[in-house]
Structure 1
C-alpha cells in the first residue's frame, strides 16, 4: 500500500522563510490564468445575493427570494463534486466551456423570468441549471499552480495566495452585487454575473499551456473514491456548511435591516464592513508562517466565529451591527484558510480537486439553507430574526468539529502540516 512521507523539516530545524507573494506573482505565465480565473470566480460570491435582491424587488418577499436563491445554491452544492470528477477525467477546458455557456444562458433566463413576474415554479426551473453550471474555477486554479510550481518552495505561497483570493472573492462579489442591484437596476447583479462568467470562463479555458494533463481513467477512479471517503473531509464539509450559513444569513438579514430603517443603501456599507474584516484577516493569516497545528487553529478560530456570530441578533443599531459584522468577518478568513490547509494535508494530490469542490459545495449549500431560513424568519418574525441563522449554523458546526476533531489528524506515517498555509508536496513511496 502506498504511504506518504513528509518532506517537512524536522521540529529541531528552523522552518525556512516562505517566499513572498511578489515572487509568486512573477511566475511566468501565472497571470494568463489568474486574471480570467478571478473574474470567473465571481459567480459563486455574486449569485445568491443577486437573486435575493432581484426576486425580493419583484415579489416583495424575502421568503420567496430566499427560496429561489436556495434552489440555486443546492444545485451548485450537488453538482460541484461532479464537476470536479469530470474535470479530473476529461480536462478543464472540456468541462469549463460548455458549463460557462450553460450558466450564462440560464442566468439570463432567470433574470428575464423574474422581471416578467413569472410563477415561482418557473424561477425554480431556471435556478437549477443556473446553480448546477457555476464554474468551479477555484479548484482549477489550484491545480494549475501545481503544474507550474511542482516541487518548488513557492507551492506553499501559492496555497496561501489562493486562500486569500477566495476571501477577496467573498468580499468583492456581494459588494458588487449590492452596488449594482441597489444603485443601477435590480437585474444588474445577475446580468453582470453572467457576463463575468462568460468572459472570464472562456479566457481561462483558452489558457491551455497551464492546464493540468488529464489523469488516466484508473487513477481518476481511485481519487474520486477516496476524497469523500476520508473522515477528515467529511468533518470539514460540516465546518464549511456553518461558514456558508454566515454568508447567507448576513446577506439576507443585512438587506432586511437596512430596508426596515429606510436606508437600503447602507446594506453595501454594512456588508462592506463585514467584508473588510474578512479581507484584512485573510491577507494577514495567509502571510504568517504558523507554528501552531492547523487543527488547533481551526478549533480556536471556529470557536471565536461561533461566539461572534451569536451576538449579531442582539444588534439594533447601525454602529453596533457594523462592529459585530467586522468581528465576524475577521473570524471567517482564518477558518476558511485553515480548512483548505487541512485538505492539503489529509487528501492525496490526485483527489484534491474533488475535495476542494466538496468544500465549496458545502459553503454553497450552507448559504442556500441560510438564505431560505433567514428569509422566512425576517418575513414571519421581528426585524433581525434572520441573524439567528449564523448563530445556529456556526454553533452546531463547532460542536461537530469539537466532537470529531480527532479525524483531522493524519495517521502515523502520513502527512502533517506544521505551518499554517505552508502546504507541502507529499512524496509517494510504494
Structure 2
C-alpha cells in the first residue's frame, strides 16, 4: 500500500479530495434518482426512462464543453455558475414532480439538470495531472480516482433507495442536491492543484475528439459504460424472474467491490507493458469475463461472474485515463477527461436501453450479450488503431555545428 500512501500524502491533496468526494457522491445518484422521481410523479416507467435518458445524454454532450471552459478560464469560474444553474434546475424538477407537472416539462428540466452537473471527477484528475504529471505516481493517482468512482457508484444507489423508500424520491434528491452544492463550492474555492487557465489552441467544440487517439478512447469508454448499464438491467431482471429480486443489489455490489480490488492491485504494479497494449488486452479480457454472465444459470454463478467482470473493469478504466493524459496537451486536458466521463454516461444509457429491449423481447439472459459484444468489438478496433494511442515523440533538436578553429 506504500504507493497509495505516497500519493495520498501529496501536500494539500486532501484539501481538494475530501470536498470532491462529497460532490461526486450525488453524481451517481442523479440518473436513477430522476428515474424514481418521475415514475413516482407520473406513475409511468416509460416517462421516467425518457427523463433519465435525457439527463444522461445532456450530461454526456455538455460535459466536455464545460471541461473546455475550465481549461480556458479556470475551474472556479466554471464550477460556481454551473452549480448555481444545477441547483435551480434540480430544484425546479423537484417542484414540478411534487406538483405532478406535465411529462414534457419534467423531461426538459431533467435534461437541464443533467447538462449542468459539475464535472468534478474530471477536474480532480486534471489537478492530479497538474501536481504529479511526469512522475511515476500519476498512474496510482488515477487508480485512486477510479476506486473512488466505484465506491460512489456502490454507496450512492444504496443511500438513494433508502431515502426514497423511507421518505420519498423528493427527499432523496434534496439530500443529493445539498451534498453536491456543498462539495462543489468548497472544491471550487480550494485552489490546491488547480491548473492555471491556459489559452485553448484547439478551437472547435469537437477539436479534442479530433486529436490523435481521443475518439478511439471515447469509444472504449462508451463500451465500458454499456457494461454498467446492461448489467444493471440484466441482474435486476434475472433475479426478479427467479423471485429473488432482493439479491440484485448484493450481486451488483459484488461487481463494484471486485472492481475496487482490481483497481487497488492494478495501481500498485509497475507495468513493463505499454499502456495502449494493456488497454487492448484489458478490453479483450473484459469481453471474455463478461461473457461468463450469459452462462450463469443460477444466482450463485451470477455472483461469481459479476465478481470476475468487476476485477477487470477498473484496471481498464485506469489505463484509459493514463493514456489520455499522455496524448493531450495541458491546455485541453480537463475537456479530454470529460469526454471520457461523458462517454461512460452515454454508454450506461445505451447499454441499459439495448438490454431493456432484449429483456422485453427475449428474456433476462439476453441482456448479458451486450457487455461482451460491445467490449469485444472495441477491443478489436483498439488493436487496429494501437499506434494512434502512443504519443508522437517530439523531434530531437539537432545541435548547431561548432566552428572549427584553424
Tell whether the structures are fold-level matches, with TM greater than 0.5.
Answer: yes
Alignment match of 2:81 (pick from 82, 95, 98): 98
Query: Cα deviations across residues 20-55 of structure 1 (Å, max 9, x unaligned)?
Result: 222332233221110111121223322223333444
Note the 1:7-406 alignment, pairs <5 A: 20-56=3-39, 63-114=46-97, 116-149=99-132, 154-182=137-165, 185-215=168-198, 217=199, 219-221=200-202, 227-406=208-387
Kept after mapping to 1: 8 A contact 2:40/2:169: yes
Q: TM-score, normalised by structure 1?
A: 0.82
Match of 2:12, SS? coil
- Highest Rg: 1 or 2? 2
Q: 1:333 offset after TM fit, Å? A: 0.6
Q: Do the aligned residues in 2 keep the contact of 1:182 with 1:265 (CA within 8 Å)?
A: no
What is the TM-score of this pair, normalised by structure 2? 0.86
1:115-160 CA-partner distances (Å, limit 9, x unpaired): 5554432221112111101111122112323444466654454344
Q: How many residues align?
A: 397
**2:233 partner SS:** helix
CA–CA distance in structure 1, aligned partners of residues 368 and 222 of structure 2: 16
**Helix, strand or coil for the counterpart of 1:277?**
helix
3-state SS in 2 of match to 1:231 = coil
Q: Name stretches of at least 5 consecutive residues in structure 2 with no aligned partner.
A: 397-406
Q: Kindly tell me: are residues 211 and 295 of structure 1, through their superposed partners in 2, closer, same or farther at Cα, counting changes over 3 Å?
A: closer
CA offset digits 1:202-238 (Å, max 9, x no partner): 11112135432221x3x45469775322231111011
Q: Any stretches of 5+ residues in structure 1 without a counterpart?
A: 1-17, 416-430
What's the C-alpha RMSD, in Å, of the aligned pairs? Answer: 3.0
Which 4+ residue blocks in structure 1 deviate beyond 6 angstroms? 222-225
Q: Give the secondary-structure state (helix, strand or coil) at the position aligned to 1:311.
A: helix
Aligned-partner Cα distance in 2 for 1:268–1:256: 12
* Larger RCO: 1 or 2 (CA < 8 Å, sep 6+): 1
Structure 1 position 180, deviation (Å):
4.0
C-alpha deviations, 1:83-110, integer Å up to 9, x for none? 1111112211111112112223323433
- Offset of residue 277 of structure 1: 1.0
CA-CA distance at 1:317 after TM superposition:
2.6
Question: Match for residue 411 of structure 1?
Answer: 392
